Structures are given as C-alpha cells and as structure tokens.
Amino acid sequence: MLRAVCRRRCSSQIRNRTYTTATFPTSFSLDREISATCSPAHSKLNILLASSKPAPNDIWASYNDALDAAGPHELDLSTHQKVLQRCTLSMNQMRKNSRRQYLSMARPAPGHMHETRFQNVIRNILSTGYTPSREDYHFILGQFTAVGHSIGSIGVYNEMNSTEYCLPDNVTIALVLQSIAHRLVLPERRADRQETANHARRLLKQILDDMRRRRIPWTNTNMDLTIRIMKHTSDEENFDTLLRLGYGIDIRYPDRPVLYDGSSAPLPFTLHTLNTVINMYGQGGNLSKLVQAFEVLTVPLPDAQKHFSASFEDEDDFGVAPSDASTSFRFPWARPNTTTYTFLLRHISQHNKTHLARHYLRQAINFDIEVSRDLRRKIIVTPHLEDVRAPRMAINRAMFVPVFALSNRNKNIALMRWLYDRIPSVIRRKKADVLHFSNFIKHLERVGKWPPPPKPRKYPPVSKIPVSTSKEYVEVDGVRWHRADVDDILALNPDHQQPVSVEISKPIDLRLHLRILKTDINELTVYHGYIRSVLARSIERVKDKIGRRVWKGRDIYLKDAALSGATADHPRLRGHVSKEAWRQIVGYKPKLKAGFARPPSHFHHKVIRHQYWREVKNIQEDQVKGSFAGRSQLSGRTSMLKPSSSSIEGGTESKSS
C-alpha cells in the first residue's frame, strides 16, 4: 500500500516538472527479480495492445494499473514501447486538434497534450535498466512536429545529444527542423511574432553549430527545412550563404560556378527549394534578387560552360585557370509550377511593378497552354495512362488576383482592360480541355479500358492533403490552412534522407483533373464578372473626375494631339477642351426627352440596368396615357429616375418657408 502511494506521488511530480526524459542512469542492478507470472492488470494491458480498437486513454489507464500492481519491472521493453506509440492520437489527428486550438484561443500555450505520458514511459524504460531506442525518440519528435512544439523537440534533441548510445542523426535533425518550421507558420498574435522568430533563430543556430562540430553531412531535406526557417526569420545574409554552400547558387554572380573546397558536393536543386527562394526574396522586399533568381533558376544554361571556358583562352593573362570541375559544373534549375508563379506575381504586384506583373502573367498563360497541349498529346500516344505524369502548372484565379489588385490600386485602366480581355480566352481553353478529357474518358469506357487497372506505386506515400490549384487557403480535416504551409512543411518526409533526391512522378488522375478544371472555370467566370463591374465603375469615376476639370475650365491631358490643340511648334498634350467636345470624347448618353438624368454610375450592374430600362419604358407609356402621377402614388415606390412626390412636396415647402 505504501509503495503504491509513493509511486503515485512520484508520478504526480513527473507530470509537473519541465521536459527532461532522462533522470535515471542507463544501467544499475535490479533490486528484485521479475515475477514469472503476469498480473491481471498486465494481462489486460496485453489484450488491449493486441487489439486495434482501444482508445489511447484506455491503454494509458490500463498501463497505470499494471504499474500500480507490480511496477515497471514486470513489463518488458517491447510493452513500454508499444504503450509509447499507442497512448496518444495519430499525427494527423494531433495536427487537426492543434490547429483548432490555435484558431479558437486568443493566446494558446504551445505544447503537446500527452507530453507527460511520453515522459513517464521513457522514465519507466530507464528505471528497468533498458535504454530507449532512436525510434522511440523519433516517435516523440514526430508527435511534437505535428503540433509545432519546438521547445519539446529541442529538449528531446538535447537529451539525445547528451547520451552516447543514441546520438542524433540526420532524421533527428530533420524532425527538429520540421517542428521549428511548423511552429513559425502557426497563427498567433502579431505582438508575439517577433519573439517566436527570435526563438527559432536561436534554435537553428544551435543545430547548425552541432552539425558543424560533429561534421554531420547535409541532406536535401535538412537543407530545404533550414532554408524555410531562414525565410521566416528574415536572415537574408545567412540565407545567401546557405544557398552558396548547399546548392552552389551565388545570386551575386549567377552565371559563374561557386568555388568549392572539395569537402562536399552540392545538393540537387528541387522545386520546393525554388519556391522557398522566390518567397524569401519576395517577403524581404528585394525585387531585383527575386526577378534574378527566377530567371536564372527556372531556365537551364546548357552553354554556360562553353562561355565560361572561352573567357580563359589566353594563358598569358594573370588569374587562375578554371579547373575541370568548374567547367563541368551543371547549374541548378527547376521547372516552375503553379505555386512559383503565384508567389512571383504576388510579390511583384505588392511592389507596384506593372510591366513585370503583366509580363510574368502572360508568361504563365503561355506556359499553361504548353502544358495543356503536351498533356493532350501524351494521353493519346501513351499506351498506359498510368505512365502520364500529372501536370504541375495551371493558370487560375490566384494568379489574376494580385495583378488586378495592382491595377485597381493605381487606377490603371489599361492593365484592367487587358486582364478583362485575357480571362475569356483562358476560360474557353479550359472548357475545351474539359470537353476533350470528357470525350476521352467516354472513349475508354466504350472500349472497356476505364477505369484503368491499378499499377504498383513507385513513389513513397505522402499524407493525403486535398489540393485545389485555385485557392490560397485550403480545408484540411475541417481546418483552414494556408496552401504554402501545407505543401512546403507537412508534406516533407524526414525519413527520406538520401543525398540525391528522387523526383516523384505522380500519374495523372483524369477525374481529379476534370474537377480542378471545372473549379477553375467557375471561379474565373465569377471573377471576370467582378472585374467587369470594377472596370465600369473605374471608367465612370475617371470620366467624372476629368469632367469636373473641363467644367471648371482647366486643362486636361489627352493622348491625341489633335484634340488637345497641339501644333508642331507647341507639341504639348495638355490643353483646354470645350464641354461639347468632351461629351463627344467620352461618349456620354443624351438625356431623356422627359428631362430625367442619365443612368447612374453603377449602371453596369445587371439588376440596376434592367430596373432602369423598365422604368424608362413605364415613363414613356405613362406620358402617352397621361397617368404617371396617379400610378406613382398607387405604387408607393421611389423611382431611380425621378424623386418621390413626398420629397418634391417637402422640398417645395422648405423652399416656400
């Protein structure tokens, strides 16, 4: 009885202390023998562990009963490890619960809801004389990564680093970096953002110092996660250094290979790294580096080695001749996707660069046309549909929004009209793609080849995250996530630590592709109507603004020199214009014969337009019948074209008074 009370008191002290799992030595003599027979509580625990239905709370309650009955020495190492993995929810469920907690609370406390359970299990393993394996620590780090618990992750990392039997490896470092990166993208108050960034910067410095001290080689996953963290901490100097050392990219001299010391080869440049580089320079406000990085890193340079070696043909000149390694250097590059162009257009539009925004949006539209044509050709000429890769580029509403916001802020009518004219062609082409792929599926159904037979997967499984190429935010398990955060952080698998990354080719899913095309068509159609209304309102406001200057006798700017009165001796484009000439230039509609005003400035709305012409028709009919006043009193409605009778009478009474 006394032992059980002391054991419960010790367990309560464990729950209240800060995170440190190791408090016992790794080996000592056991003070008693392990009983040969299992207690009823132990048997019940084994039955629960053998089943796949019990809840984590039931397993944890049975585990505590077994400890109270006979102590941790009766349980073997495998039982403790099974309890460690079954006493909590899955990583996807923990991610969902954590996200809801951060969205529902004003200032949520970071941490894991079952962190105390992990502490107790590791403590019990050490008390029995066993040592936790590296997989046990990785499981805990994976749980902390799912909720963005960077403080607990660095605590586990420090504990592993202080032992000799379980030192951190590349997978451990990847899990800790992923936890830090996930913590940086979680929602929080703006006042706490700087403190979180500073804490992440200190943790990253500690990990990089340990890697340098222990000479741990870089992997593509660790380099990618490190760059993502630097993107959020705005450490552009170290970011450039890491690109130069890890990938051989020197933004200052993009056409020259980086001089290596021969210690390590450059890592392969991936699409995720390209998107991170674009987003990093865009958030930092460095537009020149943003455009330079996109132009250099998305286009391969096949003839760069020839030009590089040709510049050193004269051996008499001073300098160092390039080595064979420098001349055979392959410059890193990656083919852009939808996210790349979305980041690029968003940051360029925020810097009010109209010419660049228009250029890259046109480039994205042309690239989408090439991808669509290539996909049409491949599904016809390829014998097996599973061998056709899914497209990575699709023009959508998210690319038009920042450019249209730029034109609306600056009242750039020319750019707004250009966008208004481009969207219908994109919609027509997507409708043609829908018709083409729908007919192709019907053809496969007629010949008995649909649905295609399943093919063995050649790529590692990834977490099921619904991706819609047209929304900046997505719904994952009922929780609103930012697209870049989902794709760039949680989709990485830290277990894949190959120095050379293998490109994952996903086969085309025609039904999913059709759903994405239809979604893009609907969103672009609605957005095209919105652009039409804003364009009409902007044109009306510009006409009214310049018309007020004309009515006040001031000069205005006209593109046509003949209208402004410019001559060869005085080639100025600003001049005075009469009211009649201004009416002809802007094309004002004449007033109605009854003396009513012209249509209002919001005439572009369909409902308002129909209501206007309906009232015009009623006015004309009433003038013929001579009963307009009686009908307006019976209806009691206020007309768009003429004020109500009550307001007229009120105005008359006020005037007479």
Confidence of residue 556 (pLDDT cuts 50, 70, 90): confident
For 152-156, which contacts have Cβ atoms below 8 Å and span 24 or more sequence positions? 152/19, 152/111, 152/112, 152/115, 153/179, 153/180, 154/203, 154/206, 155/19, 155/20, 156/19, 156/21
Q: Are both 87 and 16 inside the same structural domain? A: yes
Which of left, alpha, beta for 331 (phi over 0: left; psi -120 to 50: alpha)?
beta
Confidence of residue 139 (pLDDT cuts 50, 70, 90): very high
Average pLDDT over residues 225-235: 85
Q: In percent, how much of the chain has pLDDT > 70? A: 67
Residue 598 maps to a domain = yes
**pLDDT for 653 beyond 70:** no
Residue ranges of E strands in 483-548: none
Confidence of residue 570 (pLDDT cuts 50, 70, 90): low
**End-of-domain residue from the set 105, 139, 166:** 166
**pLDDT for 593 beyond 60:** no
Average pLDDT over residues 31-51: 69
Nearest Cα to Cα of residue 59 among 128, 3, 117: 117
Which of left, alpha, beta for 478 (phi over 0: left; psi -120 to 50: alpha)?
left
> Both ends of the chain: CA-CA distance in Å?
100
Confidence of residue 341 (pLDDT cuts 50, 70, 90): very high
How far is C-alpha 53 from the geometric centre of its chain's CA atoms?
A: 36
Residue 52 maps to a domain = yes
Cα angle value 532/535/538 (rounded, 5°): 150
316-320, 412-416, 431-435: least confident range: 316-320
pLDDT at 190: 81
Average pLDDT over residues 112-131: 90
Confidence of residue 496 (pLDDT cuts 50, 70, 90): low
Q: Residue written as tokens 């000799």?
A: 164
Q: Are both 84 and 145 inside the same structural domain? A: yes
Q: Are both 372 and 490 inside the same structural domain? A: yes
CA distance 87 to 453: 39
Q: Are both 353 and 485 inside the same structural domain? A: yes
Cα angle value 313/315/321 (rounded, 5°): 80
3-class SS of residue 113 = coil
pLDDT at 212: 86
Does 479 or 87 have the greater pLDDT score? Answer: 87
Q: Are both 508 and 390 inside the same structural domain? A: yes
Does 260 or 387 have the greater pLDDT score? Answer: 387
Query: Per-residue pLDDT tens for 1-31?
Result: 334 434 444 444 433 434 444 333 333 333 3
- The range of the structural domain enclosing residue 156 comes to 1-25+40-166
Q: Are both 367 and 503 inside the same structural domain? A: yes
pLDDT at 362: 97
Q: What are phi and psi of 575, to 5 degrees?
A: -165, 175
pLDDT at 651: 41
Q: Are both 371 and 486 inside the same structural domain? A: yes
Q: Are both 529 and 594 inside the same structural domain? A: no
**pLDDT for 257 beyond 80:** no
Confidence of residue 589 (pLDDT cuts 50, 70, 90): low
Which of left, alpha, beta for 631 (phi over 0: left; psi -120 to 50: alpha)?
alpha
Q: Are both 623 and 523 inside the same structural domain? A: no
Residue 514 maps to a domain = yes
Nearest Cα to Cα of residue 508 among 460, 447, 451: 451
- Residues facing residue 475 across a β-bridge: 480
**pLDDT for 221 beyond 80:** yes
Q: Are both 59 and 121 inside the same structural domain? A: yes
Q: Are both 474 and 372 inside the same structural domain? A: yes
Residue 219 maps to a domain = no
Q: What are phi and psi of 557, to 5 degrees?
A: -95, 130
**pLDDT for 433 beyond 90:** yes
Residue 329 maps to a domain = no
How many angstroms separate the Cα of 127 from the Cα of each of 22, 66, 80, 347?
Answer: 10, 15, 12, 56
Residue 50 maps to a domain = yes
pTM as predicted: 0.66
Average pLDDT over residues 199-208: 92
Confidence of residue 635 (pLDDT cuts 50, 70, 90): very low
Residue 210 maps to a domain = no
**pLDDT for 333 beyond 90:** no
Domain count, the chain: 3
Residue 558 maps to a domain = no
Nearest Cα to Cα of residue 594 among 621, 633, 614: 621
Residues sharing a CB contact under 8 Å with residue 336, sequence separation 6 or more, in sequence order: 271, 274, 294, 298, 367, 393
Confidence of residue 345 (pLDDT cuts 50, 70, 90): very high
Nearest Cα to Cα of residue 14 among 110, 124, 113, 88: 124
Confidence of residue 439 (pLDDT cuts 50, 70, 90): very high
How far is C-alpha 35 from the geometric centre of its chain's CA atoms?
A: 56
**End-of-domain residue from the set 496, 521, 536:** 536
How many angstroms separate the Cα of 560 from the Cα of each of 140, 326, 565?
Answer: 72, 57, 9
**pLDDT for 486 beyond 60:** no
Residues sharing a CB contact under 8 Å with residue 301, sequence separation 6 or more, in sequence order: 255, 331, 333
Does 41 or 330 have the greater pLDDT score? Answer: 41
**pLDDT for 274 beyond 50:** yes
**pLDDT for 527 beyond 90:** yes
Q: Are both 514 and 600 inside the same structural domain? A: no
Does 72 or 566 have the greater pLDDT score? Answer: 72
Confidence of residue 185 (pLDDT cuts 50, 70, 90): confident
pLDDT at 577: 84
Dihedral of the alpha carbons of 171, 172, 177, 178, in degrees to the nearest 10: 60
**End-of-domain residue from the set 496, 516, 536:** 536
Confidence of residue 84 (pLDDT cuts 50, 70, 90): very high
pLDDT at 121: 93
Asked whether 282 and 344 are in contact (CB, 8 A), the reply is yes
How far is C-alpha 330 from the geometric centre of its chain's CA atoms?
A: 29
Q: In percent, how much of the chain has pLDDT > 90? A: 33
pLDDT at 318: 45
